[in-house]
Amino acid sequence: MNLTFFSVDAWWWPYVFILLAGSLPTNIWRWLGVFVGGALRDDSDLLLWVRAVASALIAGVISKLILFPTGPLGDTSILLRLGATAIGMAAFWLCRKSILAGVLAAEAVLLAALFI
């Protein structure tokens, strides 16, 4: 059976297709990481390299969102984006490395600027 986005004529099919197509490729690598990573020591060279690559990828995505945004974020000024980033980082450190606090603080700055 050839499963494509248009192969099933039901209202729910596009949602199931997007869920499967979006999660399966990611989840395969996550499960592989769980199985392989369980046998590695925390200070192994391979695991340190994987952490460095993951951190670099996250830094690249965040930099792209700040410097070259698309959509509604692209309509904001670079100073606002940099300010929201600085406030988010400050909240992250002040709240004992809480990612949630950092994200919420940065979003609060962006939303406040939107409504002012």
DSSP label of 71? G
Question: Could you tell me if 92 and 77 lie in one domain?
Answer: yes
Question: Could you tell me if 79 and 114 lie in one domain?
Answer: yes
**Rounded distance between C-alpha atoms, residue 103 and residue 87, angstroms:** 9
pLDDT along the chain (116 residues), means of 10: 72 83 84 81 85 93 94 92 97 96 96 91
Containing structural domain, residue 20: 1-39
**Rounded distance between C-alpha atoms, residue 62 and residue 69, angstroms:** 10
Q: What is the pLDDT of residue 40?
A: 78
Question: Could you tell me if 76 and 116 lie in one domain?
Answer: yes
Question: Could you tell me if 34 and 16 lie in one domain?
Answer: yes
Question: Could you tell me if 91 and 104 lie in one domain?
Answer: yes
Q: What is the pLDDT of residue 3?
A: 67
Question: Could you tell me if 75 and 112 lie in one domain?
Answer: yes
**Rounded distance between C-alpha atoms, residue 46 and residue 98, angstroms:** 27
Domains of the chain: total: 3
Question: Could you tell me if 74 and 110 lie in one domain?
Answer: yes
CA distance readout (Å), 69 to 57, 64, 72, 75 = 16, 6, 8, 8
Question: Could you tell me if 63 and 86 lie in one domain?
Answer: no
Q: What is the pLDDT of residue 66?
A: 94
